């Protein structure tokens, strides 16, 4: 039997987040990966056979693509429409809740699902570091200005400093990557990624804070207005003020 050329291609599907409940019918296809990008849901690694299935063909308003290099071409077209999105891919059975009832507001689902973090199968760029103030203070004594130019910082409690930006400093502490306004421990991700945007809106409705998670699933909030450029002079002033609040 002749090989189907379509089987050698990587196929993608894009739908709107309002159609998330329709993906329940393909959640058991273990070869698929899913990702969320604003108002879009992406599904990748569809086989040629799956593309022709009733489960896929019955999804309205979908867009199907095949990949060539970094470009995505609409199925049946020789002209690229977009590029492969830079998003966080996860197996579909983990990226979707087991049941996402139709016609139920997605925000309501968070009332009954406990937010948990699980080990991630993907690696992403580190964006933030939570370290001891004393370790950062020691580093700042000899830090070259060029090493600090892309970094911001703020105090996070009495003894911790949160540093954001890249490249991070070579200091001990907890490293985080970024999803929207959430800082997740490196190597971990939300168990139910489909709820990521909802969680972000619930915990940061004004879109003005970083939500910093730890591995057990607890979190704290850091106001973005409190994060300032990491510079030797202003850092020393902040530390002096912290140590001598009456000055």
Q: What is the pLDDT of residues 162-216, one digit of tens each?
A: 999 999 999 999 999 998 889 999 988 877 766 677 777 888 888 899 999 887 7
What letter would DSSP give residue 156? -
For the beta carbon of residue 97, count every other beta carbon within 10 angstroms: 20
The Cα-based distances of 151 to 126, 147, 178 in angstroms read 13, 8, 15
Beta strands at 152-155 and 174-179: parallel, antiparallel or unpaired: unpaired
Q: CA–CA distance from 243 to each of 59, 133, 215, 246 (Å)?
A: 61, 11, 30, 9
Looking at mean pLDDT, say which of 17-21, 38-42, 194-198, 239-243 comes out highest.
38-42
pLDDT confidence bin for 151, thresholds 50/70/90: very high
What pLDDT score was predicted for residue 234? 82
CA atoms within 13 A on the CB side of 22: 19
Closest listed residue to residue 14, CA positions, set 2, 23, 6, 5? 23
CB 187, CB 132: distance < 8 Å: no
User: Rounded to 5 degrees, what are φ and ψ at 124?
Assistant: -130, 160
Give Dmax (Cα) for the chain.
Answer: 83
């Amino acid at each position: 039997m002749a090989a189907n050329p379509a089987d050698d291609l990587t196929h993608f599907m894009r739908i709107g987040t309002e159609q998330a409940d329709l993906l329940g019918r393909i959640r058991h296809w273990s070869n698929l990966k899913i990702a969320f990008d604003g108002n879009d849901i992406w599904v990748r690694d569809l086989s040629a056979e799956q593309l022709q299935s009733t489960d896929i063909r019955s999804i309205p308003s979908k867009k199907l693509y095949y990949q060539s290099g970094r470009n995505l071409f609409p199925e049946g077209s020789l002209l690229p429409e977009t590029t492969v999105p830079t998003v966080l891919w996860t197996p579909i059975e983990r990226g979707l809740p087991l049941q996402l009832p139709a016609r139920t507001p997605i925000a309501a689902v968070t009332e009954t699902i406990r937010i948990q973090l699980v080990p991630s199968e993907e690696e992403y760029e580190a964006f933030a570091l939570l370290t001891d103030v004393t370790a950062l203070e020691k580093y700042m004594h000899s830090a070259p200005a060029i090493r600090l130019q892309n970094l911001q910082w703020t105090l996070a409690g009495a003894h911790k400093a949160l540093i954001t930006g890249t490249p991070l400093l070579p200091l001990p502490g907890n490293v985080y990557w970024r999803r929207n306004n959430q800082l997740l421990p490196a190597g971990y991700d939300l168990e139910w990624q489909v709820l990521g945007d909802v969680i972000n809106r619930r915990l940061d409705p004004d879109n003005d804070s970083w939500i910093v998670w730890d591995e057990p699933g607890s979190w704290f909030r850091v106001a973005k207005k409190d994060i300032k450029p990491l510079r030797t002079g202003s850092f020393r002033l902040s530390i002096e003020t912290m140590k001598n609040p009456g000055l």
